[in-house]
Amino acid sequence: MLSKRFFENRSLQDMVENQTTYTMSNAAMHVFETHKMAEHVLLQFDQPVLASMLEGKKIMHLKDSQSFDFLPGESLVLPAQEVMRIDFPEAKEKNPTRCLAMAISEDKIKETLHLMNENLPKFDKRDWSLMDYNFHFSNDREIFQIIQRLLYLFTENHPSKDLFVDNMLQELVIRVLQTNSKKAYLENSNKFHQSSRLRYVIEFIRKNIHKNLCIEDLSNQAYMSESNFYRVFKNEMGISPVEFINEERIKLATKLLKEEDRKIKDVYMECGFESRSYFNRVFKKIKKVSPGKFQERFN
């Protein structure tokens, strides 16, 4: 959410993509507000940018990709000079669309990549490199919290805020790179598991999601010690093996709960959960609603 300080200091001059900008040494934060419906609005940055929706809905049209809805809780990574064509089908004066665009210097990104390759190298010796641009994803809790913190820091009047922002930018880049790495493993696991032990384990988890899975079994599949497997998995995926297993189980649970006449007891057992209470707790943490309430929406 935007702070009270932001609204006190910003000047609302344009009804479409009104821009408020805060500039620091390694980044510039732009907040765009649109208060009426509009189409074919063009936007471009001279640095790589992370765009994150705060309120409302946009329809994004990017080079070499299909158009898609851009909604609150989602982010998009774009290269420098990428031209965006944007529609605002629902923007109104009392229901504006608001979006954050964080332009990050390429030097800061390269510095963070070097730091990761020195201190958090990938298991298969490949270097961390720039993520696939036009990467569209849902923010996890950590990225959401970083974005909220940056929104506060850029508008704060503090003598050390440049240092604070620099540290948060570094964490943001690392988290986004790990999220991008996780997406690559999930999309390619069935193709490349023969050449990557981590991809093989991910495919093993997905095929055996209904079974009791433990770190010992997974580390054996990867031919690693438990401690090394845990470290490698969390480094490259951004989450622990248990968190990943729970995410995959909840994905399956949401699919099953949408089917008619499904009993929650059958669903959680089919997804590999050993108790109803643990299933409820994990489901609510990930989906922000209980399994029963979620099921009511579809039945």
> Domain-by-domain residue ranges, the chain?
4-181, 184-238, 243-298
Mean pLDDT, rounded, for 264-276: 92
Q: Does the pLDDT at position 193 exceed 50?
A: no
Within 105-225, strands assigned E span: 135-138
DSSP strand pairing (38-43 vs 68-70): unpaired
CA separation for the pair 196, 185 (Å, rounded): 10
Q: Does the pLDDT at position 5 exceed 80?
A: no
Q: Does the pLDDT at position 254 exceed 70?
A: yes
Give residue 47's pLDDT. Answer: 92
3-state secondary structure of 96: coil
Q: Does the pLDDT at position 190 exceed 60?
A: no
- What CATH number has the domain spanning 4-181? 2.60.120.280
CA separation for the pair 181, 274 (Å, rounded): 30
Tell me the C-alpha to C-alpha distance, in Å, between residue 199 and each of 124, 229, 297.
11, 12, 35
The residue among 175, 47, 24 whose CA lies nearest residue 112 is 175
Length of the chain in terms of residues written: 299
Give residue 298's pLDDT. Answer: 74
When the candidates are 1.10.357.10, 3.40.630.30, 1.10.10.60, 1.10.150.530, the CATH number that belongs to 243-298 is: 1.10.10.60
Report the amino acid identity of residue 98. Answer: R
pLDDT (tens digit per residue) in 106-153: 999 999 999 999 888 887 777 787 766 788 999 988 999 999 999 999
The kind and range of the H/E element at 297 are helix 291-298
The residue among 232, 102, 215 whose CA lies nearest residue 169 is 102
Query: pLDDT tier at 24 (50, 70, 90 boundaries)?
Result: very high
CA separation for the pair 124, 201 (Å, rounded): 14
The kind and range of the H/E element at 75 are strand 74-78
pLDDT (tens digit per residue) in 63-117: 877 799 999 999 999 999 999 999 999 999 889 999 999 999 999 999 999 999 9
Q: Does the pLDDT at position 194 exceed 60?
A: no
pLDDT (tens digit per residue) in 96-107: 999 999 999 999
